[in-house]
Structure 1
Amino acid sequence: MYISPNACPALVLNADFRPLSYFPLSLWSWQDTLKAVFLDRVDVLSEYDREVHSPSFTMKLPSVISLREYVTPKSSPAFTRFNVFLRDRFSCQYCNDRLPTSELTFDHVVPRSRGGRTNWTNIVTACADCNLHKGSRSVRESGLRLHRQPEQPTMHELLRNGRSFPPNYLHESWRDFLYWDTELDSDF
């Protein structure tokens, strides 16, 4: 059975063997991965059965790689729509329903028409129904209640939230590297 190299991305780990990001999962294409291997920028930790060939060379495609040099994570996350959704765990902060991103919007807690700013402490994830219901009113005037007060998350919080949303596809060679540092359940 033929497997396209395009179906063989590599999980990218930092030099401390933790993924650069969990959500979206840090993956590189097979081309970027091979380039990094040949430039001696990464170590190959696991491989697919799939090989690529040139006239004089054959190599198994890497499935897990680690950077040779540690990349320091950013201290504060970028203020993006995706990061707001991730901070709020893809849940409407009014009705608490968890929804796909295509059904989520963001809402100004203090409406812009009343001087509300577009920043971490005034934006929350909302479903379309709650956002429409609230409109340009305050939370109190709308009769809604905030599930959680918005605040700027740390990178650690976003990474932790991202870990609870595994991607649809996980290659078996990735599993040990994605969850090796999670706390184990105890029998006590």
Structure 2
Amino acid sequence: MATDTLNANVLVLNKLWQVVDICSVRRAICLLYLRHAQVVVKEGGAFYTFGFEDWKDFSRNSRGDDFISTINYRLKVPKAIILMLYDRLPPRRVKFTRKNIYLRDNNTCQYCGRKLRTDQLNIDHVIPLSRGGKNTWENVVCSCISCNMRKGNKTLKEAGMRLIRKPRKPDWKTFVKNRFNTSEWESWKDFLDVAYWNVELEEDK
């Protein structure tokens, strides 16, 4: 089995069909084998669930290259699983942290537009704290070090700078989309488009 495949991400739903976590393919297969979870597949506009033996049969008749192989059979890599007993409610807020600000802004300086490594970036307050600005989603942006030094303790007008986009609280779908790659997002968006995920997010107090 390819290590990269076993470490790929699988979306985890609770028994109420709410997104609660992300796990590795390795962990998902273990939960499936132990009958703690079932695989969820969308086909023809409907959702279907499969236990371990049913998933083996489904995999046997499936095409593509996203499989893991054992001595006796091969399994199609699951994209999402549903836990059979777990009904805890999912987290409803994206924490207001440096890491999540970088994720929201896609590691891109919101002044010059350059995408950089994390160690080449920092956080800037659009309205400086000393000028009455607040430590909120709407007043902080990811910035490169040179733009941050240029702006300093000035307002945008005083520094002669502009934002490439207005900072906002990230909704859950946008946050997840920025965190994971395009193929993962496409396979998960049916679960993340549900109305109850479009909740207002609050920063930490």
Identify unmatched segments of 5+ residues in structure 2.
40-54, 60-66, 192-205
* Distance in 2 (alpha carbons) for counterparts of 1:80 and 1:129: 22
Identify unmatched segments of 5+ residues in structure 1.
52-57, 182-188
- Deviation (angstroms), 1:43: 2.1
Aligned partner of 2:69 in structure 1 is: 49
Greater mean alpha carbon deviation, residues 107-116 or residues 10-19: 10-19
Give the total of aligned pairs: 161
Q: 1:82 to 1:59 in 2, by over 3 A?
A: farther
Higher relative contact order (CA 8 A, sep 6+): 1
Match of 2:24 among 15, 28, 33: 28
| C-alpha distance after superposition, 1:116-170 (max 9, x if no partner) | 322211110111110111112222211211122222121122234345x44xxx8
Q: 1:118 to 1:178 in 2, by over 3 A?
A: same
Instruction: Give the conservation status (yes or no) of the 8 Å contact 1:86–1:158.
Output: yes
Match of 1:74 among 76, 91, 108: 91
Match of 1:101 among 113, 118, 123: 118
Matched, 1:40 2:25: no
Aligned partner of 2:11 in structure 1 is: 13
Instruction: Give the conservation status (yes or no) of the 8 Å contact 1:8–1:61.
Output: no
Alignment RMSD: 3.7
Aligned partner of 2:187 in structure 1 is: 177
- More helix as a share of residues: 2
Aligned partner of 1:134 in structure 2 is: 151
Match of 1:90 among 107, 112, 118: 107
- Deviation (angstroms), 1:29: 6.5
Q: 1:11 to 1:161 in 2, by over 3 A?
A: closer
Greater mean alpha carbon deviation, residues 122-131 or residues 11-20: 11-20
* Distance in 2 (alpha carbons) for counterparts of 1:159 and 1:175: 8
* Distance in 2 (alpha carbons) for counterparts of 1:97 and 1:175: 24
Q: What amino acid is the match of 2:127?
A: V
- Deviation (angstroms), 1:71: 6.9
* Distance in 2 (alpha carbons) for counterparts of 1:101 and 1:41: 38
Q: 1:160 to 1:108 in 2, by over 3 A?
A: same
Matched, 1:63 2:83: no
TM-score norm. by structure 2 comes to 0.59
| C-alpha distance after superposition, 1:12-69 (max 9, x if no partner) | 2244999867xxxx34273x44552354222255651156xxxxxx886873251235
* Distance in 1 (alpha carbons) for counterparts of 2:133 and 2:122: 17
- Deviation (angstroms), 1:95: 0.9
Match of 1:161 among 178, 199, 202: 178
Q: What amino acid is the match of 1:28?
A: S
Instruction: Give the conservation status (yes or no) of the 8 Å contact 2:109–2:142.
Output: yes
